[in-house]
Structure 1
Amino acid sequence: MSTPKRSAPFEGRALAEVVNELTAEVRELYLADEVPWVIGYSGGKDSTAVLQLVWLALQGLPAEQRTKSVHVISTDTLVENPVVAAWVTQSLETMGRAAEEQQLPIEPHRLTPQVKDTFWVNLIGRGYPAPRPKFRWCTERLKIKPSNAFIRRVVRRHGEAILVLGIRKAESQARARAMAKHEKRRVRDRLSPNGNLPNSLVYSPIEEWSNDEVWMFLMQYSNPWGHRNKDLLTMYQGASEDSECPLVVDDTTPSCGDSRFGCWTCTLVDQDKSMTAMIRNDEEKEWMRPLLELRNELDNKDAEKETRDFRRMNGAVQLFHDNVIQGPYTQEARQKWLKRLLEAQTEVRESAPEHVRGIELITVAELHEIRRIWVFEKHEVEDTLPAIYEEATGEPFPGRPVDEQLVLAGEEVDLLREVCDGDDIHFAMTRELLAVERQHRTMTRRSGLFQELERAIKKGFYENEEDALEFAKRKQEMREKAPTYVTLDEETTDAPA
């Protein structure tokens, strides 16, 4: 297949000519082999334009030639901007019906992260601090893993997959450099290798288009599955930013940042400009304000020291420039975030428009997983989640009671606190020791019991943060003063075991 000239595709040419050329190219690539296609769809302008081009191309083929599956995948992080999430969900539903009616091999898929990987399970359950540029734990779990898992399933089933993405060189200089690098290794004329997903190739049909050219195409060509592009334009006009979240398949792909279609919980930027603009520009979006306020509370860096433990997740104390590196959120902070989230959900459900009134800021499955982590992994045997849920929502918690053998009644907790005489660290240590013993009580083989007891004691070894800081400094000084041992083939500053 001859490769058409790709630079400045609209220069001196009519839109119809460019579209006809591209749809012909899409058809030729589609018919070239039996490799299934996977289209990344975010509901934004670029991914919509690409999907429209493929849809128009397939419409131009005889029914007997539409034999190859085209999977449309959209990753819902479960913390997407709710307006955009509702738009994408409706679009996927409309798309599925239209593809069936038009006898097209297009299959929409809404992907979500596993419950153990969701934003709230990690932040409220495990205590991960709000994401920061140097600790961006969210992208891998919420975006990369769901899309990559789907693509790998397609590759396992068919041996190969072709990703059709709405990436454009005009998005950023970094994007242009990355695309130029992959161009040099292209096969089959228009397909670039994907370094992070073996046996998958990337096709980017609108890579040379500008922002204005994308909108020109969307405004002049009706959406073939019946989701109005003018409504999409209106949604963009309600926000200050004009970009979208791409399909994220590796950690070099930008994970939205301050873009139009990002997570409402995103703390990787100073402020959520898009949600702020949507509320400011449209009185009907005022119901989103509780989300914006909660997001801003998560982003309050000044309050982090009071809300985070001085120990890391494993109980260790680490230093950075003679200061303790803050660990996960404390139990009190995690309980506060859960209460605030459930209150925001209740408020939004009462004031949101009909089409988003049943919105779930956190799912029941996530609540069950958070409860499990609190009780069984963090040994917070008070089992406070059901009470927090009922206080925030006014409804009973929709879950079964935890095994009574593994939790402490309120009177028992109060008695334990009284015995510990206000010492929170020793209270937590004693509580964990009791929980570990109870969990092992019914086991036939109590393997690992003593290791877990030892870990709990080490975690509660300190009197307070100042004591932990002094201990860590003394330990660091001892390491620095350790003698140097030289062997025949290497040098080391570690003392022998």
Structure 2
Amino acid sequence: MNESTMIKSSVTINKDKINGLMETVRNLYMADDIPWVIGYSGGKDSTATLQLVWLALRELPKDKLKKVVHIINTDTMVESPVIEKWVERSLKMMDEASKQIDTLVDSLFVTHRLTPEYDQTFWTNFIGRGYPFPRKKLRWCTDRLKIQPVNKFVKERIAETGEIILVLGTRKAESTNRARTMAYYEAKRVRELLSPNPTLANELVFSPLENWTNNDVWVFLMQYQNPWGLSNNELQTLYMSATEDRECPMMTEKNLPSCGQSRFGCWVCTMVAKDKSMEAMIANDDEKTWMTPLLEFRNRFGDEDRDRDRRSFKKLQGYLQGSYEQLHHGPYLKEWREQWLREILTKQLEINQEGPTEFADYELITIQELRCIRRIWVFEKHEFDDSLPKIYEEVMGKHFDDPEWIGSEAFGNVEWMLLGKTCDLVMNSTTYKESEEAIALARRGDASRLESLRDNTILEMMSSLIDVENRAMGLENRKNIIDDLEKCIKRNFYENEEDATRYYRDQLQRKKDMGARYNEKFFVNVQEEGEEFDDIPEGAEE
């Protein structure tokens, strides 16, 4: 079989099949009054899906175009800056092009840019609450940044009309798991071509490209002009720039490189060891070297070897958890959350000043997110020094605008520093100096981690007690104040991690001796077990 024959065999579509599929789209659209929602990410599959639907529906007469097609794009607020601008431009062109279609509705295609709630964004959780960077056993980002915004929009449409049809660019050829999932729900179809959504009732899924190959998608995009005016050649170039060898060949064998293997997503994504797409973009295009600081920052905070020492030995709610004779570490310590904030603001300023003109006002982190982070630090973590405005002003060189802020008049940075010095006197006692953990850290010269011993013990306890009492002073009903103060003490009951580990071990040993259920894995030595230690158990978000 020669190469030409192999290329042809990898393409399963032709003009007749495409025309037939367009007719299917038109018939399905006219079959009922159920509104359509099309997912658009800006990638090749969603572009091909939307292009197919657009080309099909614009051929219908005006009296048949009686229901709106909603185009939704989920902006995670940490998208690759280049892709974000690409999608933004594309959506604007869709709005203009849709106005040219004569319909019975105001506009046949209506675009929607969906974003997560500000208190659930990546930076609010990572810098604000101190969530560890996402990984296989703690993938907290996808649901908050992508799924929740889409589900909210879909539920609102279902509440209005009772049912919707979600049009997606999913293909069985994308992966074995995707093919298996699509086949499973294909068997449960309530109507021809429409599959149920496993997570939302009254939502039906239509996947017009379900049987297309990767090459089918590119052939369609290259041979049919984009109806809203965006160049599909530009899209292909974008994919080419995200592959190491800048090639975007037709797939003739499974092991050949393909544009389909380029992945565009969140620039902060740590679910993969390396962001090969961004690395390739920077390497292949001198005009994109301004993104290098983002890649370096992502690699820095996503360093799993150093991550554990950056985090508290307690979980977010203050309890202890462990395995293999070690505690599972929880949220990032105060100094590291402040460090991440300083770095992301610095990167933003660098992009504004040194990046392309179109990024002069670009925000890596929004002012609304910063306000959320400020409230989490001060009100939830009791860090009444209120360090965020100071960090912002030092890096950005301008005042931090937060007109609705109402802080404490009694306690601020001066009182925090005084409290810190007082706690230092206590922590510099013989017990602290001679603790095994402190000695080991001193020998390694780990000053930052040595400092964290103070942040996570007496200072945290005292600042919490003072803040809780201060906020309760103006309340008429103080019946819960004792319980709240007791919780603060229990959260900070331990002198340091060494003391907490000893306490946790003794607690488990008592349960074991009494015949009660206990965490058996804590007593297993990781070297004996032959496993790699992972300090975040499955589903342990806090």
Provide the TM-score with structure 2 as the length reference: 0.83
Equivalent pair of 1:166/1:206 in contact (CA under 8 Å):
yes
Instruction: Report 1:291-310 matches (<5 A).
Output: 291-310=294-313
- The residue number in structure 2 matching 1:432 is 464
Distance 1:467 1:156 in 2: 54
Q: In structure 1, how many angstroms separate the alpha carbons of the residues matched to 2:228 and 2:324?
A: 58
| Offset of residue 302 of structure 1 | 1.5
Cα offset, 1:304, TM superposition: 1.3
Tell me, yes or no, if the aligned pair for 1:40 and 1:73 is still in contact at 8 Å: yes
Structure 2: where are the runs of 5+ without partners?
1-7, 247-260, 428-453, 519-542
Residue 187 (structure 1) shift: 2.9
Hey, what's the Cα distance between the residues in 2 that align with 1:263 and 1:218?
24
Q: Kindly provide the amino acid, as one letter, of the partner of residue 87 in structure 1.
A: W
Q: SS in structure 2 opposite 1:73?
A: strand
Instruction: Please give the secondary structure, in 1, of the residue aligned with 2:408.
Output: helix
Percent identity for Structure 1 against Structure 2: 48
Mapping of residues 408-419 of structure 1, within 5 Å: 408-419=411-422
Q: Kindly provide the CA deviation profile for residues 343-389 of structure 1, in whole angstroms up to 9, marking residues without a partner as x.
A: 00000111111223321100000000000000001000000001111
Which of 156, 160, 164 is matched with 1:157 structurally? 160
* Structure-2 residue corresponding to 1:253: none
Q: Which runs of 4+ in 1 moved over 6 A?
A: 9-14
Asked if the contact 1:429/1:456 (under 8 Å) is kept, the reply is: yes
The 10-residue stretch of structure 1 (14-23 or 322-331) with the greater mean CA deviation from structure 2: 14-23
Deviation at 1:259, TM superposition (A): 5.2
1:414: how far off? 2.3
One-letter amino acid of the structure 2 residue matched with residue 478 of structure 1 = R
User: Structure 2 residue aligned with 1:284, among 283, 287, 307?
Assistant: 287
Structure 1 position 464 matched with structure 2 position 496: yes
CA contact (8 A) 1:381 1:407 kept: no
Code of the aligned partner of 1:59: R
In angstroms, what is the RMSD of aligned CA positions? 2.0
Deviations 1:149-197 (Å, cap 9, x if unpaired)?
1111111111111010000111011111111111212232111111111
1:27 maps onto 2:26 in alignment? yes
Residue 421 of structure 1: how far off its partner (Å): 2.5
Aligned CA distance change for structure 1 residues 311 and 11 (closer, same or farther; 3 Å): closer
Matches of 1:407 and 1:262, distance apart in 2: 45
* 1:40-119 matches, cutoff 5 A: 40-103=39-102, 104-119=107-122
Q: Residue in 2 aligned with 1:480?
A: 512
| Structure 1: segments with no counterpart, 5+ residues | 1-8, 243-257, 485-491
Distance 1:173 1:323 in 2: 37
1:443 and 2:478 matched: no
Distance 1:461 1:21, change over 3 A: same
In the TM superposition, what are the counterparts of 1:120-269 in structure 2 within 5 Å? 120-240=123-243, 260-269=263-272
- Partner SS state of residue 235, structure 2: helix
The structure 2 residue matched to 1:344, chosen from 344, 347, 368, is 347
The residue number in structure 1 matching 2:450 is none
Work out whether residues 406 and 435 of structure 1, in 8 Å CA contact, stay in contact via their aligned partners in 2.
no
Cα displacement (A) at 1:116 = 1.1
Give the aligned partner of residue 37 of structure 2. 38
Q: Distance in 1 between matches of 2:359 and 2:229?
A: 21
Note if contact 1:131-1:137 (Cα within 8 Å) is conserved in structure 2.
yes
- C-alpha distance after superposition, 1:199-254 (max 9, x if no partner): 11111111111111111111111110111111111111100289xxxxxxxxxxxx
Structure 2 equivalent of residue 488 of structure 1: none
| Preserved contact between residue 118 and residue 372 of structure 2 (Cα < 8 Å) | yes
Q: Do the aligned residues in 2 keep the contact of 1:160 with 1:200 (CA within 8 Å)?
A: yes
